[in-house]
A and B are shown apart, each in its own frame.
Chain A
């Protein structure tokens, strides 16, 4: 089992290497390698999960081992693997969704179709001429193998993140996922919008990651380890972190680190204010949106916060005041849930609605963690992965159908705009039914769907804990969620086709619809294993497996069954669905969006995403580009270069001055002067050498006379 735990992330890594290096040319080989890898990891995950649920008290006694990795002075930094209930459950849904998405991608990228004559790598394929007819068919993606290489790398990172037992590997895997997200959002790199979206995603999550790294550093500095068990399962460490006060704002160390690590979640799980990257990330192919931005990568953010739940709740007890990180999480989560749901109301693009929906649902999970409802949050994470992946893959199928119709008819409608669709129920029945299952689950359709059970548990926890503002906010968001789910369903599938593309759409290939069916199964059934025992009638029919499995380490948070949150939940869900269907039922092609008429200026705000992007551009991006393009080059050119030039000029001035003042006059001048003095004096003295003896005699005699006079007169008185 331990070996299996180590091995689970490896097959996708090997797949990535093989595809990148060897099988790029062959599309078939590439996707089989990727599928085999995903299949192997899936198998391993299933085995581990089966083993895990058979264990008693796995939460307190998880399967774990570690090896020495980095020498750090006297000790070693160890890395290893950990299997506890949280990671086992996560492995389950991650493995299933990744496998389904891999299979789906084969059909999405039109494997088996001929290559388009005008298809360029870096742009989405736009059809190939059908011999003999005046229409076109979808063509295969030019960069097919590259896609499978990237998603394999991503799968490796996600599995690694789930099985690891320390923050270091988690952070490394986190960053690899960020890289893959960048590569895959910008998969069609010849489109400027895709490139910009990729950079935006990377940079925005980077902001969160920076704070998370700071939290990690502080944690390591204080505790000397990054291992989960040593920090989180150690009451002594948690206690000391909770009671010692940090220098920042009077928070305890636990609160500070918890907030910083939550900042990573805010970035990765697209919470307000770092949510702006996720809608733009829809530029990537739909399988990418499904996998990365619905089921797995954004879930990693919530996963991290769930992992660090003991640290975040250090010093908190049920019923008491929330700790600072919990409070922050609850507020941000609830706010994001409502905020994103409202924006989703104003969107026309089928994928954008789902993107904001994801942000909203993640807000639910974050808020649940914030109020201490650990089991509810993880349960919702579990169910959300299935139905959100289903919804994205379904929307991909719809888009494919629309594209087929577009290529066949030569229509110019936007194949992703819901207002160009309609009546697809008849054209694409399988897609419709699976999409219905997903949409109902998202809306929390009572009793049947998984989404209901998990969402209800969150609402119950909020209500029972007396966090009424949170409760009301989340309930309102649930209503709006149901409304826009119905809006999406109605506009896309019901009614009459509004454009020729919609009229000529047809069902997708089996390789695409089969994953939809599997995921639909989970979207409905997965919730049945989390029914609380004291639920009327249905409680106890199926074991509350999830509650027990997860809740082993935490006290029962949901408390007694209370009918009020249940009723609110049912009303919000059914009411929202009905209203949504009602408003959009008779939408015709040319009519304006009914919500626009109804909500007026509010709708404009929703449509424009509350102008958050515009605000960021004005407040952050323009000053930054000004700094980079104007201020810093000016500094560089004038001050830095200027000072260098000045030093250079000073140096050469100094040199020439020394030469002028010292070298030439003194160092040259003195010897030259001595030489010319000698020469001059020699020239003058030479004149005495006349060669005439008599003159020599005269001069010597003169001196004798002089000496004699001196002797006579001076010395002898």
Chain B
């Protein structure tokens, strides 16, 4: 009843919103939340395709499971970095973390 394309569009939209968050948020934690949204969109995409087209195989499921694990690990590391940076620099604003400035 629900066409695959709807799911795909939702995933695409969620992805782009997350992307916007990554590109435009000042706070580093806001950026990380954007990354979470993107990863979720990816999951939706994967599972949608699996469910409609490849449900006899198990690859999609495994891929989505690994994505979950990776997302969790990445968020943990990212927040650890944020805390470390906060301690060293005293800021969580992305624009102020510009020691790589050329």
The residues of A with any CB-CB pair to B shorter than 8 Å are 686, 688-694, 697-698, 701
Any A CB within 8 A of the CB of B56: no
**Residues of chain A lying within 8 A (CB to CB) of residue B100:** 689, 691
Any A CB within 8 A of the CB of B102: yes
Is A690 a contact partner of B101 (Cβ separation < 8 A)?
yes
- State in angstroms the CA–CA spacing of A692 and B23 once bound together: 10
Known pairs A692-B94, A692-B95; A697 contacts B23 (CB<8 A): yes
Q: How far is the CB of A679 from chain B (nearest CB, A)?
A: 14
Is B94 a contact partner of A694 (Cβ separation < 8 A)?
yes
User: Interface residue tally of chain B, by bracket?
Assistant: 10 to 19
**Residues of chain B lying within 8 A (CB to CB) of residue A697:** 22-23
Contact of B23 among A690, A691, A701 (CB under 8 A): A701
The residues of B with any CB-CB pair to A shorter than 8 Å are 19, 22-25, 31, 94-95, 97-102
- State in angstroms the CA–CA spacing of A148 and B25 once bound together: 127
8 A/B residue pairs, CB under 8 Å, sorted by A: A686-B102, A691-B98, A691-B99, A692-B98, A692-B101, A694-B25, A694-B94, A698-B23
Q: How far is the CB of B38 from chain A (nearest CB, A)?
A: 12
Q: How far is the CB of B35 from chain A (nearest CB, A)?
A: 11
Is A694 a contact partner of B98 (Cβ separation < 8 A)?
no
- State in angstroms the CA–CA spacing of A701 and B16 once bound together: 11
- State in angstroms the CA–CA spacing of A701 and B21 once bound together: 13
Contact of A694 among B23, B99, B101, B102 (CB under 8 A): B23
**Residues of chain A lying within 8 A (CB to CB) of residue B95:** 692, 694
- State in angstroms the CA–CA spacing of A697 and B34 once bound together: 13
- State in angstroms the CA–CA spacing of A686 and B95 once bound together: 17
- State in angstroms the CA–CA spacing of A686 and B102 once bound together: 6
**Residues of chain A lying within 8 A (CB to CB) of residue B101:** 689-692
Known pairs A686-B102, A689-B101, A689-B102; A694 contacts B24 (CB<8 A): yes
Closest to A687 in B: B102
Closest to A686 in B: B102
- State in angstroms the CA–CA spacing of A701 and B97 once bound together: 21
- State in angstroms the CA–CA spacing of A688 and B102 once bound together: 8
- State in angstroms the CA–CA spacing of A689 and B98 once bound together: 9
- State in angstroms the CA–CA spacing of A701 and B100 once bound together: 20
- State in angstroms the CA–CA spacing of A454 and B52 once bound together: 160
Is B31 a contact partner of A690 (Cβ separation < 8 A)?
no
**Residues of chain B lying within 8 A (CB to CB) of residue A688:** 102
**Residues of chain B lying within 8 A (CB to CB) of residue A690:** 98, 101-102
**Residues of chain A lying within 8 A (CB to CB) of residue B19:** 701
- State in angstroms the CA–CA spacing of A701 and B99 once bound together: 22
Q: How far is the CB of A625 from chain B (nearest CB, A)?
A: 87
- State in angstroms the CA–CA spacing of A698 and B24 once bound together: 9
- State in angstroms the CA–CA spacing of A689 and B94 once bound together: 14
- State in angstroms the CA–CA spacing of A694 and B31 once bound together: 9
Q: How far is the CB of A698 from chain B (nearest CB, A)?
A: 5
Q: How far is the CB of A2 from chain B (nearest CB, A)?
A: 111
- State in angstroms the CA–CA spacing of A189 and B101 once bound together: 101
Apart from A690-B98, A694-B95, A697-B23, 17 more pairs, CB < 8 Å: A689-B101, A689-B102, A690-B101, A691-B97, A691-B98, A691-B99, A691-B100, A691-B101, A691-B102, A692-B94, A692-B98, A693-B94, A694-B22, A694-B23, A697-B22, A698-B23, A701-B23
**Residues of chain B lying within 8 A (CB to CB) of residue A689:** 100-102
- State in angstroms the CA–CA spacing of A179 and B19 once bound together: 118
**Residues of chain B lying within 8 A (CB to CB) of residue A701:** 19, 23
- State in angstroms the CA–CA spacing of A692 and B26 once bound together: 11
**Residues of chain A lying within 8 A (CB to CB) of residue B98:** 690-692
Closest to B99 in A: A691
- State in angstroms the CA–CA spacing of A689 and B97 once bound together: 13
- State in angstroms the CA–CA spacing of A701 and B15 once bound together: 13
**Residues of chain A lying within 8 A (CB to CB) of residue B25:** 694
